[in-house]
Amino acid sequence: MKQVWKKTMAVFVSAGLLLGNGASALAQEKPVDKEENVYANLKADGSVSGVYVVNGYQLDKKETITDYGKYESVKNLSSDTKIGQKEDKITVAGEKGKFYYQGNLKEKELPWEVSIQYVLEGKEVSAREIAGKSGETEIHIQTKAVKTYSDFTENYLLQITATLSGKHFSDVQAEGAMQANVSGEKQLTYTVIPGQDADIEIRGKATDFEMDSIVLKAVPLSFDVKEEQMDTGVLKEKENAFLSGVEQLNAGSHQLAAGISGLTGGGTALSRGLEQLGDGADSLDVGAAALAKGSSDLKEGAKNWQSGLAQVAGNSQQMQKASAQIAAGLTKLEQQLNGQGGEELQLTEAIGAVGQLTEQFGTLVQASAQLGQGISNAYNTGLELEGARTAQDGLAGQSIAANEAAAAQLAQLEDSPEKTAAIQALTNSSAVLGGYQTLGAGYGQLVAGLGQLSAGYQGENGIQKGLEQTQQALQTMNQKIQTLGSTQEKLAALRQGVHQLYAAYCEGNQETPSFHQAVIQYTDGTDALYQSYSHQLYPGIESVAGGMETLDQGAGSLKAATWALRDGSRTLLNGLGSAESGAAALQEGTAALQGESNSALAEAKSKLEEIKNKLTGEGFTPRSFVSEKNTHVKAVQFVAKTEAIGKTKEKDGK
């Protein structure tokens, strides 16, 4: 199994890594830039059983590669050229283009120690002991940073993924995991930030315990972080220093005339209010962008869902047509068996008709199964879209509340064209955001309707079960007739069996509809749901998504108008500063304010830049994992994989 995984990962590296620009053409004696991809095989308890490194190069020309590493063995993954190995020095001739070689390390160590424990019914057991067992199960995964590798553990994001089969696990509890259901399996993904250790607990009920490999991946932390997305708590502290300078300015301005003092106080309050309003406009602009993105994604998912519903509606029409053909065939056979004519002729024609009906039922049962699966898939997709829509609804509600708060602040300002434009933009924004709440009821009813159709289709009393039972009855009747001797006996058995099938499938009334009528009602309901979604709900989703795009653009205009008001208030305050009385004191306070604010803001920006660099990975230079002699390393990443539990060798090889 380990060899299969190694080969698979080598192919993956050769196909997908080193997508950036190649290294510059260097003299033969100079090192060549490379990437190290470290792979580790772990035992089921997390201990390391083996580590190997795939070294990758992008060569601009044919040249000799010199590399270093304490390898037990090396292997050329790109050509048949022999690799030279003398102690820790590796040399090999590489052709122009991508070149890879693998080295198996002597030391079995990683930057993170991994420990995995298994608990069955409250008792800790080994992986071998828990394999194939059933009961309440716990899986504990811990990681601990190795101090000698702090440059990796302090700068690398660690991702841990455990995959649990729905066949072997139920009632799974995994706090802190990002969960995804893929092809009947629950994928649990945990993210460990640099400098932190992991302590993970997974609980569930196991049936014949079997588990795929746990996979750990580590890559340098690199987020696309914008300053407005960061916590500005540090900047708020520096803002207090700025306000202290403003207080000195106010002390000097107290010497101005009483009227100017009052006007200055009002102007200061106005400026502060507009500063807060400007911050709110910034937040609204960011929120509108998020809503527009989410609406676009929701629209795309709704479009795909419409295609799925259209296919379900088409299948239901085909099923309705097939059922009508069977009903017509049963009616004709019922009449034929009750008519006049020679018994031998009646028997021959009836047996042929029964065979034809049996084939038609086989086709109908198959079409019904496809329809049932399509309805189930559409229902599950609808649930996923409902979750996305609910999340968007929550964002919309928050934005409406923010709009109302901003409008209340604007109402306190004097009338101006900018104020009018800002209030109108907020009103339009709230109207568009309200569209999500209008969509909510119709969307929920449609998903609930699909759920009822899916539930009614399956089960002991469902359409699918009824069709299968009718098909079985036809086959049983056909087999029984073959065992009878005389023509009269066979005809009698045929008449009785066909009459029972005809009565159940074709005869019915409003209180007790026939099976064919039930099929018609069910497929008509499926088509009605599709028509409702296609002509009412989906156009509404498109309309709201379009409104979100307009809102995103309008939020930018609102932001500009709000900051225009703020700039106007600053102009007012600057004009007041021209008063002769107290001009000297005002100038002194302004000078002090300038010096203090510049120093405080510079320090705040430096701190913010430090945090941003930490998140984006700027300033981090990777070093070689295998040897400090390797000085031209562009990137290092780690992938570790545990043994699977309870898997046969044949299964692992697939």
Which residue would you say has higher pLDDT here, 44 or 549? Answer: 44
Which residue would you say has higher pLDDT here, 59 or 429? Answer: 59
Strands 34-42 and 633-642: parallel
What percent of the chain lies above the pLDDT cut of 90? 32
> Do the Cβ atoms of 76 and 92 come closer than 8 Å?
yes
**Cα dist from 263 to 260, 341, 568, 572, 576, whole Å:** 5, 114, 15, 10, 8
Distance, CA of 209 to CA of 131 (rounded, Å)? 5
Tens-digit pLDDT profile for residues 497-543:
777 676 667 766 555 566 666 676 667 777 676 666 666 555 656 65
pTM of the model: 0.42
Q: Please check the confidence at residue 29 and state whether its pLDDT lies above 60.
A: no
Which residue would you say has higher pLDDT here, 471 or 126? Answer: 126
C-beta neighbour count of 625 within 10 angstroms? 22
What percent of the chain lies above the pLDDT cut of 70? 46
Tens-digit pLDDT profile for residues 352-397:
777 777 776 677 776 677 666 666 676 677 666 666 667 666 766 7
Tens-digit pLDDT profile for residues 273-283:
556 555 655 65
User: pLDDT band at residue 13, thresholds of 50, 70 and 90?
Assistant: very low
What count of Cα atoms within 13 Å lies in the side-chain half-sphere of residue 414?
8
Query: Could you give all domains of the chain from N- to C-terminal order, each with its CATH number?
Result: 1-112+142-166+211-225+615-654 (no CATH), 298-389+440-515+533-554 (1.20.58)
Distance, CA of 31 to CA of 117 (rounded, Å)? 44
What pLDDT, on the 0 to 100 scale, is given for residue 489?
Answer: 72
> In sequence order, what E strands does 130-197 have?
135-145, 156-165, 169-173, 178-182, 185-192
Tens-digit pLDDT profile for residues 297-307:
555 656 565 56
Between 153-157, 207-211, 460-464, 640-644, the lowest mean confidence (pLDDT) is in: 460-464
Pick from 135, 156, 386, 411: nearest CA to 273: 411
Between 11-20, 41-50, 55-64, the lowest mean confidence (pLDDT) is in: 11-20
User: pLDDT band at residue 633, thresholds of 50, 70 and 90?
Assistant: very high
What pLDDT, on the 0 to 100 scale, is given for residue 475?
Answer: 72
Q: Give the mean model confidence (pLDDT) for residues 425-440.
A: 66
Contacts of 347 (CB under 8 A, 6+ apart): 487, 490, 491, 494
Task: Give the mean pLDDT of the chain.
Answer: 73
What pLDDT, on the 0 to 100 scale, is given for residue 25?
Answer: 37
Which residue would you say has higher pLDDT here, 43 or 550? Answer: 43
Pick from 447, 650, 590, 474: nearest CA to 532: 447
What pLDDT, on the 0 to 100 scale, is given for residue 289?
Answer: 62
Give the tokens for residue 438: 């209008």
> Do the Cβ atoms of 385 and 440 come closer than 8 Å?
no
Q: Please check the confidence at residue 14 and state whether its pLDDT lies above 50.
A: no
User: pLDDT band at residue 6, thresholds of 50, 70 and 90?
Assistant: very low
The phi, psi pair for 18, rounded to 5°, reads: 55, 50
DSSP 25: P
